[in-house]
Structure 1
Amino acid sequence: MYCKKVKTKSGQVRWECIEDGPANPITGKRNQIKRRGRTKSEAKQKVENEIAKQNLTRVDPKQVKGMTFDQLVDKWFEMYRVTKVKKNTIETRVEQIQTLNKKMAKMPIDKLTHLFYQGVMNDIFSEGASKNTLLGTQNCANMIFKFALKHNFMAENPAAGIIIPENPKTIEDLQKDSIGGKYWERDELNEFLDTVLECGLELDKERFFTLAFSGIRVGELNALMKSDLDFDNNLIRITKTMSGQNENMREYELGTTKNESARIIEMEQSIMDMLRELVRQNDEHKMKYRTLIDDYHDGDFVFARKNGYPYFRGDVNYRMKRILKKTNIKRHATSHIFRHTHVSMLTESGVDLPTIMERVGHNDPKTTLEIYTHVTKKMREKASEKIRGNFDDLLQKISFQNKNVTLM
């Protein structure tokens, strides 16, 4: 719903809200509902009331009689799954649908009220669901109910204006939400990588050094193939990402990158030398295991299991958690922190923002810009400190001159 402040002919300021209502039943043309109020909430409520009123007259009682929530979901999902949605997004929606169906699968949709649905969200929260899980489930339910409104199955959207329950934020939450909590400082990265070298298991060194010095996503790392590595020019080509139902290695799927575009990353010589050695070892493993393992999979993955199948995000995060337990790093982190840390590394190295965004494959500059701004501010502060430290004797001359002027 779009809302703005407007001036009336008498010069008074009012809030005006606009939202699409049910399409004209004869022409099918767009029908915008516009209402004004003294406050934003009043204007929004007027629009919602009018939409509900118009929807009510369009609901066909015969069509919805006996229809339950799970039946509505089936109708919506049949449409949703053939839209331009990635496989891993569909898998996420399936999980969210399962969560909703556990609470209201057999609920008749003509009995499904805002109050009942709020209770559903409260129950999911009380069972320990994270805020992100709640927001994702709410988003899924909202799409289902909007589908119902569009096809005249329901008169109102029970998910509209819902309150997402949440616990009071802890100190740890505040640290995670802060910009500084989104990436590791140099000493933290150094400690983690040192621990990887000392205590890491097979592939840990190659995984985490590559993530830290490339900024690629974990799914992109797991999808890397031998053909993506250009050792002559020290380049890595990013064209795909790894996903799979329940992270079953034999049911993996390769999809396009998050922003559906390919990119090429120039890498340091030492990282490419490390990956070259890994590829050499993979070739040896292939010669050894493809005759010993019945279902050996020759996928040519750079980060492959002994049987040739790829790894998933969960595997990498599990290994990362193991390493973190052996460090003094206290704040929570997943493998995604390497992307943000890489942005800070590039910023400190003097790389400009457009080049950083191109390298990490960010269409949305929000987080990248936040980190870039935060790091450059710290760099400016350090520059000022260095000036004071190196030229303090000259600055003292100003203090001495000011003191003499005061005495005179």
Structure 2
Amino acid sequence: MASYTKRGKTWQYTVSHYVEGKPSHIRKGGFRTKSEAMSAAKEIEFQLSKGHVAITKNTAFSEYFKNWVELYKVGKHKTTFIRYLNSVDRVKEYFKDMPIQKITSNHYQKFLNEYGIGKSRETVRKLNTHIRSCVKDAIEEGYISVDFTRKAEFNATKSAKKSEEKHLNFDESLKLYQFLLNNVSKESISSYLLLLGLVSGLRFGELVGLTIDMFDFESNTLKVERAWDYKEGTGFGTLKNEQSKRTISIDDAVMSKFRELFKELPEQPYGLVFFSRVSKVSVLSNEGVNKALKNLLQQLNIKPISVHGLRHTHASILLYQGASINSVSERLGHSDIQTTQDHYAHVLKEMKERDEQIAINMFRKNNTNLV
């Protein structure tokens, strides 16, 4: 049973119910209109009817979010977990100690708008994804009754990179492949890493974490079993997810180059392929390899991309050449197919348009006399 009281310029609801046979009351105020208070009260009554207990004690949103991340996301890959902690910092900076019970859709939209200054829409979307998952749990646990993230808009002032700017097209990748295949040199070990990155689609941490024993020259396959923490230099670490542990086939011409390299390569610490005797982190640095790739692409008159762009190049070309999204997802070590679909939606759209033309012309191509 709910009742409503006007307190100054705002409205308050009181929902009466019984806890273990004793009367109890849930109150919340600050609503601009009586209808808003009634709507919120009905949601509380609905939750109570399902056996959910509403929590009326004010709880700082930043504290709830921090506890939620530490409880549910601690098992994520280190890089992913750090992203969640960064999201916690953004919430703490803006909302400070504001109770989660007092945050409205307007409050939250203003927060996203401010965060989006100087950032891309995708960056804002990722922050919202982290927060929205937390908010859904807060609703289930009875801290709040309304999802204030539900109608959020991702406004940003910085344009995201276009899909085609993140990877090479087929002709460009073929040009790069042929140059690297003919010019890899043990004097520049980064050239081997770039070649392997192009034909394997491995993440940078996976590439620099490779050891010689992971190369099988009989079957021309490569095992991916661990990564190297190249950002903080702490050594071998876990892969991003369980699906990232995989064995993939590699171009025999590329494998031949590595077979020749290993014959001349001095004994490496831990058996690392891309060990660097001049690097503080003991493996080739991401910054150094990116610089080498940029210089090489300029030499070939190809627009610059990052080393991670080689991974996007590999996947995009596989998909466009007709590889199934399932096999591409497995080859990349994605946690699920949806991740692959989200990352390469632009390629899938191009393929759909191409396939529609095939469908339109499939009979007319060989039947020119049809009218």
Q: TM-score with structure 2 length normalisation?
A: 0.67
Residue aligning to 1:275:
258
Residue aligning to 1:342:
314
Do 1:195 and 1:326's aligned partners in 2 also have CA atoms closer than 8 Å?
no
CA distance in 2, matches of 1:338, 1:86: 22
Structure 1 residue 140 displacement after superposition: 1.6
Residue aligning to 1:73:
65
Do 1:183 and 1:341's aligned partners in 2 also have CA atoms closer than 8 Å?
yes
Secondary structure at 2:273 match in 1: coil
Q: What is the identity, as a one-letter code, of the residue corresponding to 2:149?
A: A
Give ranges in structure 2 of 5+ residues lacking alignment: 1-18, 21-37, 359-366
Q: What is the identity, as a one-letter code, of the residue corresponding to 1:124?
A: Y
Residue aligning to 1:103:
94
Do 1:215 and 1:339's aligned partners in 2 also have CA atoms closer than 8 Å?
yes
Query: Superposed, which structure 2 residues align to 1:191-270 within 5 Å?
Result: 191-193=175-177, 197=183, 202-243=188-229, 247-249=231-233, 251-256=234-239, 258=241, 260=243, 262-270=245-253
Structure 1 residue 373 displacement after superposition: 8.3
CA distance in 2, matches of 1:357, 1:205: 26
Do 1:69 and 1:108's aligned partners in 2 also have CA atoms closer than 8 Å?
yes
Task: Describe the shift of the 1:378–1:315 C-alpha distance in structure 2 as closer, same or farther (beyond 3 A).
Answer: farther
CA distance in 2, matches of 1:341, 1:334: 10
CA distance in 1, matches of 2:121, 2:305: 17
CA distance in 1, matches of 2:257, 2:226: 22
CA distance in 2, matches of 1:200, 1:326: 20
Do 2:119 and 2:156's aligned partners in 1 also have CA atoms closer than 8 Å?
no
Give ranges in structure 1 of 5+ residues lacking alignment: 1-24, 27-45, 287-297, 383-394, 400-408
Query: Superposed, which structure 2 residues align to 1:83-232 within 5 Å?
Result: 84-126=75-117, 128-167=118-157, 176-177=162-163, 183-193=167-177, 197=183, 202-232=188-218
Structure 1 residue 327 displacement after superposition: 4.7
Do 2:47 and 2:54's aligned partners in 1 also have CA atoms closer than 8 Å?
yes
Confirm whether residue 303 of structure 1 aligns to residue 287 of structure 2.
no
Task: Describe the shift of the 1:100–1:217 C-alpha distance in structure 2 as closer, same or farther (beyond 3 A).
Answer: same
Q: What is the identity, as a one-letter code, of the residue corresponding to 1:213?
A: V
Residue aligning to 2:305:
333
Secondary structure at 1:139 match in 2: helix
Do 2:201 and 2:311's aligned partners in 1 also have CA atoms closer than 8 Å?
yes
Query: Superposed, which structure 2 residues align to 1:28-43 within 5 Å?
Result: none
Do 1:121 and 1:164's aligned partners in 2 also have CA atoms closer than 8 Å?
yes
Structure 1 residue 185 displacement after superposition: 2.7
Structure 1 residue 88 displacement after superposition: 2.4
CA distance in 2, matches of 1:48, 1:326: 63
Once the two structures are superposed, what CA deviation does each residue of 1:152-186 show, in whole Å capped at 9, x if it has no partner? 333433322111113596xx95xx34xx6665333
Range with greater deviation from structure 2 (185-194 or 372-381): 372-381
Structure 1 residue 321 displacement after superposition: 3.8
CA distance in 2, matches of 1:372, 1:117: 33
Do 1:88 and 1:243's aligned partners in 2 also have CA atoms closer than 8 Å?
no
RMSD over equivalenced CA pairs, Å: 4.6
> How many pairs does the alignment contain?
321
Do 1:348 and 1:376's aligned partners in 2 also have CA atoms closer than 8 Å?
no
Q: What is the identity, as a one-letter code, of the residue corresponding to 2:314?
A: H
Q: Which residue among 311, 314, 320 is the counterpart of 2:293?
A: 320
CA distance in 1, matches of 2:105, 2:116: 17
Structure 1 residue 199 displacement after superposition: 12
Task: Describe the shift of the 1:252–1:165 C-alpha distance in structure 2 as closer, same or farther (beyond 3 A).
Answer: farther
Structure 1 residue 55 displacement after superposition: 6.2
CA distance in 1, matches of 2:356, 2:289: 36
CA distance in 2, matches of 1:321, 1:51: 56
Once the two structures are superposed, what CA deviation does each residue of 1:187-243 show, in whole Å capped at 9, x if it has no partner? 312444577659998333101111222233333222211221123432211233444
Structure 1 residue 151 displacement after superposition: 3.1
Do 2:226 and 2:236's aligned partners in 1 also have CA atoms closer than 8 Å?
no
Query: Superposed, which structure 2 residues align to 1:388-407 within 5 Å?
Result: none
Task: Describe the shift of the 1:243–1:381 C-alpha distance in structure 2 as closer, same or farther (beyond 3 A).
Answer: farther
